[in-house]
Every structure is written in C-alpha cells, then in structure tokens.
Amino acid sequence: MNRNQGSILDQKPLIYVWAPFYRFLLRIRAFFIAESQAHLEQITGQLCALEKQLTALESHQRDQWIAFEQLYLCFLSDPDRNTRSQLQQFLEAERAQHLPTDDRNGPDETPGGAPRS
C-alpha cells in the first residue's frame, strides 16, 4: 500500500473530530447572541423610558423653580410686607392676651386651670 493512498481519516483526523464540535459551538453562540440581543433591546427600552421620565421631571422641577422665583420676587417687591408682618405679630399678641376661658374654669383662670395674670 502506498503512503499517499491511505484513508482520508489518516490524512485529516482533526478536521473530522473538530467539525461537529465547531458546529455545536456555532449553534450555542447563535443562541446566546439571540438571547443577549433580546435582553439588550429590553434594557435599551427601559433606559429610554427612564430618560423620558427624567426629562419630564426636570422640566417640571424647572417650572416649579420659575414659579417660586416669581412668587419670591413678588414678595420682595411688595412695599407693605413689613407692615403686614408687624400687623400679624400684633394680632398674635392680641390673641395671646384674650385666651378663651373654659366653662369649667372660673372667669380668672386659663383653660389649663392656672390663674390669669
């Protein structure tokens, strides 16, 4: 028998062993790539939704700050604000002096039962 006429298996044994294993690896790779692609699309969709929510929240917060600034500027530009503050302090002092009496207490006693000063 001539050396060149040996069986094909003798000439390329690694190819015949490697080919089925390689095809199997290709199928597994295709499966994982498909699964990874599906997960990646899902994550990308969630990320887009979060970005939209964040943009909406930032816009809403910006609008709130603008409204707050306008109110604060109106408050600062009001010439009667010091007068109103003094009037409010005066009214609170008046209310503190005229505490209502409880029916169970005498006319000179506070609701806690202590004598009125």
Do 73 and 93 belong to one domain? no
Do 35 and 86 belong to one domain? no
**Does 33 have pLDDT greater than 60?**
yes
pTM for this predicted structure: 0.40
CB 74 within 8 A of CB 80: no
**Does 92 have pLDDT greater than 80?**
yes
The Cα-based distances of 8 to 1, 4, 5, 63, 92 in angstroms read 14, 10, 9, 79, 108
Work out the pLDDT band at 104, boundaries 50, 70, 90: low
How many structural domains is the chain composed of?
2
Q: Range of 97's domain?
A: 80-117
Residue 19, pLDDT score: 80
As given in the structure block, the two tokens for residue 68 are: 């707050």
Do 50 and 91 belong to one domain? no
Q: By three-state DSSP, how is residue 53 classified? A: helix
